[in-house]
Amino acid sequence: MANGASDAAHHAHDHKPTGLGRWLYSTNHKDIGTMYIVLSIIAAVVGGAMSGMIRLELAEPGIQYIEDFQFYNVLVTAHGFIMVFFVVMPGLIGGFGNWIVPLMIGAPDMAFPRMNNISFWLLAAALVLMVMAGLTGSGPGTGWTVYPPLSNADFHSDAAVDFGILSLHLAGASSVLGAINFITTILNMRATGMTLHRMPLFVWSILVTAFLLLLAIPVLAGALTMLLTDRNFGTAFFSPEGGGDPILWQHLFWFFGHPEVYIMVLPAFGVISQIVSTFSRKPVFGYLGMAYAMIAIGFIGFIVWAHHMNAVGLDVNTRAYFVAATMVIAVPTGVKIFSWIATMWGGSLRFDTPMLWALGFIFLFVVGGVTGVVLANAGADMAFHDTYYVVAHFHYVLSIAAVFAMFAGFYYWIGKMSGRQYPEGLGKLHFWITFIGVNVMFFPQHFLGMAGMPRRIPDYPDAYAGWNMVSSIGAAITMVGTLLFFIVLFRTLGAGRKVEANPWGEGATTLEWAVPSPAPFHTHEDTPNVEAQPAE
Amino acid sequence: MFKRLNVFAPILALISFVSAGSAVAAEPKPWQIGLQPAASPVMERIHDFHNLLLVIITLITLFVLALMVYVIVRFNEKSNPVPSKTTHHSVLEVIWTAVPVLILVAIAVPSFKLLYFMDRTQDAEMTLKVIGHQWYWSYEYPDHGNFTFDSNLVPEDELEEGQKRLLAVDNKVVLPVDTNVRLLLGSEDVMHNWAVPAFGVKLDTVPGRTNETWVRITGEGTYYGQCSELCGVNHGFMPIMVEAVSKDAFKAWVAKAKVEFANEENKSLQIVQAKIDAK
């Protein structure tokens, strides 16, 4: 940096804005990262409460609490939207991405700090619109996939779906701006000597994710706009009576929707790679393979979308192609799983809380992944499509794996973020309760799906009672785990032990551990030089 | 409704599932952990294919679990205080890329066979048209005088002895066994999905499109399914009930149904036609 002297002067005073203005007008990647994490936690409470209501209703056959079935559908819809757009994405990308990427690559901040601010506040506005969608009229009971004709003006006539569309538009704009910011930052602001092939894998994961966002979100935005004009201005993109086709929506939605799955899980891969390496005290095994596996997953993620449409009546040759393409994803995913295990092989493993979550992630992602291989087969999928088997599958890879990665990252980096370390015993207890809870909740859903229980129904034939009760008990256990998380959070922030720059020892080699804890308001004012360090 | 939370029930269910041979009982059972019994050649093949998949995915999961347990036991801080610095092993990396490819090819071959077999039938002996509505099904028999009827859920307070809650309908679909039935599916409003697990049939009804699939029912009995695409408020309340009968019994039912379900506008004509048919 040319103005190193003035930077040093800044550092001496640590020009930190105070009060509300520090947050409202923030251009600081750490503060914005913190706000993303807070938003993610708040949204998780809302979305989690919705899933609690769903499991409460489904605990026994018959209608217990939710007599308005439209409200049930709204719960299912809002739970999906909130968890995807307002919990996992802001947590992993906005939160950890903003906080950690500049620290890891030795950049003083993000490339476009003001754009970073608008990215966050657009998302906050989007959350408000999403809540308004739920409160308008009878709410959007369309499922998060918003399939027309159910989502068009004939069947959802009040403004609820419109609010939902506008919310997604804002969330999408937020994501695209964030993606541009990450791409620019990562490509231009790395430490001296940090070539692309020496970047930490978490940075790689965010870079690939940002490209996925940049390419997928505009397709969603286009589809949403078409749906908006269908609903309000008399176009007929998705209405057969006007020459349109409801299936067109599904192609557009899933062209976004499938990459979206990897947008959620690639940053999780990145977090897990850092943690496994740190707690094995070994560099990541097969680093290049790991980086290129993520690129491969990102690329293939764009050409498999119609496996979500196995039952819409696509031509059999089309389905055959999507079967083949989808199964290919298992190969780079396998490379990642085996490379994590090989990283641990020969290592000197410590099982602190972040590592427990990481190990839980690896195993449960495999469980969710192999059922994905089953579902990829369009033929077999006729038994599973739209049943609880699918619900179990995507909750294993998202609700379990991605959320485990969020908790892993939280325990791994909270010392760096807050300057205080979490209580180890409580953290481990949180892990074990959640691990048991989510498995009791979601594993029986495989059985329900195989027996034929459809998704998104508020009541079910009596034969499904047993496993539904078990699943609901699992939800209750998970809820206890979540309460424990808040105890951990408050204990950490209120009474956690002050933590040194690098609490994890020699395994933690990335640059964020070279700055003090908590990370000062301004870091890396002089570009670090990592040329002397061995490649990852 | 829900009385016993018996810990042995899952085990018993597993035993009964494994030993379930030819029992024609195509409905979900309490504590069931597997697929419903097959009642069509398509579902039989889905069973076979899924049995293969289940073995493969279970072995993969156990293999990963075993590796993880070994790593945790063998390479923890106590048993291995000095970490190795190995970060590359080309042979290993080639193997763990190539072996999954081979496994996937082994899966793909039967997968494609199944996919093309289940798509549609070349030699349909009759056609059944299924129309989805919010929130009931209607059925048409174009090869049997084109009579049509609606099929609604039997509400809970009108259930008769032996009728299943949320699965029973007032007018069930009747189809002959051992007959290739072409299914043509359409919708009048939003998307629905006509799904009968025991047949291995699950296909969306899409407004503006006609989807085609087929079924050949192998055993007499009653089969149940539910709408499998979110279609609005009463999505969970438009079940499917198919009664499979012998070919003779089907003929008798058609004769009766033609009269019972004759369209209002040409009812008299159809009654005359039915009389001619009877002679």
Q: Which residues of B touch A137 (CB under 8 A)?
A: none
- Closest listed residue to residue A498, CA positions, set A411, A420, A437, A401: A420
Answer for the pair A460, A521: CB distance below 8 angstroms, yes or no.
no
The Cα diameter of chain A in Å comes to 74
Q: Do B209 and A247 touch (CB under 8 A)?
A: yes
What is the DSSP track for A362-412? HHHHHHHHHHHHHHHSHHHHHHHTTBHHHHHHHIIIIIIIIHHHHHHHHHH
pLDDT value at position B263? 65
Q: Do A61 and B1 touch (CB under 8 A)?
A: yes
Instruction: Match domain B3-119 to its CATH number in 3.10.20.30, 1.10.10.10, 1.25.40.80, 1.10.287.90.
Output: 1.10.287.90
Query: Facing residues of A420 across strands?
Result: A498
Is residue B24 predicted with pLDDT exceeding 80? no
Q: Do B32 and A342 touch (CB under 8 A)?
A: no
Residue tagged 């597993």 (tokens)? B14
Number of Cβ within 10 Å of residue B22's Cβ equals 6
**A489 contact partners, CB below 8 Å, separation of at least 6:** none
Q: Do B191 and A246 touch (CB under 8 A)?
A: yes
Q: Do B115 and A70 touch (CB under 8 A)?
A: no
pLDDT digits (tens, 9 = 90+) for B217-232: 999 999 999 999 999 9
**A242 contact partners, CB below 8 Å, separation of at least 6:** A235, A236
Range in A327-331, B2-6, B135-139 the model is least confident about: B2-6
Number of Cβ within 10 Å of residue A462's Cβ equals 18
Q: Do B208 and A245 touch (CB under 8 A)?
A: yes
In angstroms, the CA A305 to CA A352 distance is 38
Q: Do B112 and A323 touch (CB under 8 A)?
A: yes
CA distance A274 to chain B (A): 14
Q: B226: nearest CA in chain A?
A: A454
pLDDT value at position B265? 53
Q: Do A380 and B53 touch (CB under 8 A)?
A: yes
Q: Which residues of A touch B193 (CB under 8 A)?
A: 311, 386
Q: Which residues of B touch A447 (CB under 8 A)?
A: 31-34
Three-class DSSP category at A532: coil
Query: Facing residues of B224 across strands?
Result: B241
CATH 1.10.287.90 in chain B: give the residue spans. Answer: 3-119
CA-based angle A227:A228:A229, to the nearest 5? 90
The amino acid present at A224, given as its one-letter code, is L
CATH 2.60.40.420 in chain B: give the residue spans. Answer: 126-278
Q: Which of B29, B36, B207 sits opposite A246 (nearest CB)?
A: B207
Q: Which of B28, B77, B97 sits opposite A348 (nearest CB)?
A: B77
Cα-Cα-Cα-Cα dihedral sign, residues A400, A406, A409, A414: negative
- Closest listed residue to residue A485, CA positions, set A37, A1, A12, A3: A37
Torsions phi, psi for A143 (to 5 deg): 80, 160
Q: Which of A149, A323, A363 sits opposite B189 (nearest CB)?
A: A149
Q: Which residues of A touch B64 (CB under 8 A)?
A: 337, 341, 362-363, 366
Q: Which residues of A touch B53 (CB under 8 A)?
A: 373-374, 377, 380
* DSSP structure class, residue B89: -
Q: Which residues of A touch B164 (CB under 8 A)?
A: 461-462
Can you point out the beta strands (E) in B227-276? 239-245
In this structure, the dihedral spanned by the alpha carbons of residues A263, A267, A272 and A274, taken in order and rounded to 10 degrees, is 160
Cα-Cα-Cα-Cα dihedral sign, residues A252, A258, A264, A270: negative
CA distance B114 to chain A (A): 6
Q: Do A345 and B75 touch (CB under 8 A)?
A: yes
In angstroms, the CA A281 to CA A278 distance is 5
Is residue B18 predicted with pLDDT exceeding 70? no
What is this structure's pTM? 0.93
Q: Which of B189, B230, B231, B242 to mutate to test the interface with A (most CBs of A within 10 A)?
A: B230
Q: A470: nearest CA in chain B?
A: B5
Q: Do B1 and A465 touch (CB under 8 A)?
A: yes
Three-class DSSP category at B216: coil
Three-class DSSP category at B251: helix
3 state SS for A338-350: HHHHHHHCCCCEC
Q: How confident is the model at residue B271 (pLDDT cuts 50, 70, 90)?
A: low
Q: B185: nearest CA in chain A?
A: A313
Q: Do A348 and B72 touch (CB under 8 A)?
A: no
pLDDT value at position A74? 97
Query: Facing residues of B131 across strands?
Result: B138, B186
In angstroms, the CA A508 to CA A107 distance is 19
Q: How confident is the model at residue B262 (pLDDT cuts 50, 70, 90)?
A: confident
CA distance B217 to chain A (A): 16
Cis peptide upstream of residue A340 (ω within 30 degrees of 0) = no
Answer for the pair A329, B106: CB distance below 8 angstroms, yes or no.
no
CATH topology of domain B126-278: Immunoglobulin-like (2.60.40)
Torsions phi, psi for A236 (to 5 deg): -140, 45
Q: Which of A312, A382, A384 to mutate to test the interface with B (most CBs of B within 10 A)?
A: A382
Is residue B10 predicted with pLDDT exceeding 70? no
Q: Do A362 and B68 touch (CB under 8 A)?
A: yes
CA distance B261 to chain A (A): 29
Q: Which residues of B touch A391 (CB under 8 A)?
A: none
What is the DSSP track for B176-213? ETT--EEEEEEESSS-EEEEEGGGTEEEEE-TT--EEE
Residue tagged 């994961």 (tokens)? A205
CA distance B271 to chain A (A): 35
Q: Which residues of B touch A311 (CB under 8 A)?
A: 193, 202-204, 228-229
Q: Which of A359, A370, A447 sits opposite B57 (nearest CB)?
A: A370
Residue tagged 């972040």 (tokens)? A354
Answer for the pair A5, A517: CB distance below 8 angstroms, yes or no.
no
- Closest listed residue to residue A489, CA positions, set A424, A433, A422: A422
CA distance A507 to chain B (A): 10
In angstroms, the CA A437 to CA A425 distance is 18
Q: Tell how many helices (H) and how many strands (E) occur in chain B.
A: 5, 10
pLDDT value at position B11? 46
In angstroms, the CA A469 to CA A464 distance is 9
List, by residue number, the catalytic residues of A: 79, 109, 144, 174-175, 258, 260, 262, 273, 307-308, 333, 336, 455
In angstroms, the CA B81 to CA B75 distance is 8
In angstroms, the CA A28 to CA B221 distance is 68
Q: Which residues of B touch A505 (CB under 8 A)?
A: none
Tell me how long chain B is.
279
Mean pLDDT by 10 residues, chain A (536 residues): 46 72 95 98 97 97 95 97 97 98 97 97 97 94 96 95 97 98 98 96 98 98 98 96 96 98 97 98 96 97 97 96 97 97 97 98 97 96 97 95 97 97 98 98 98 97 97 98 97 96 95 95 91 63
Answer for the pair A246, A240: CB distance below 8 angstroms, yes or no.
yes
Complex ipTM over 0.90: yes
Answer for the pair A111, A189: CB distance below 8 angstroms, yes or no.
yes
Q: How far is CA A49 from the centre of its chain?
A: 18
Residues B106-129 have a mean pLDDT of 95
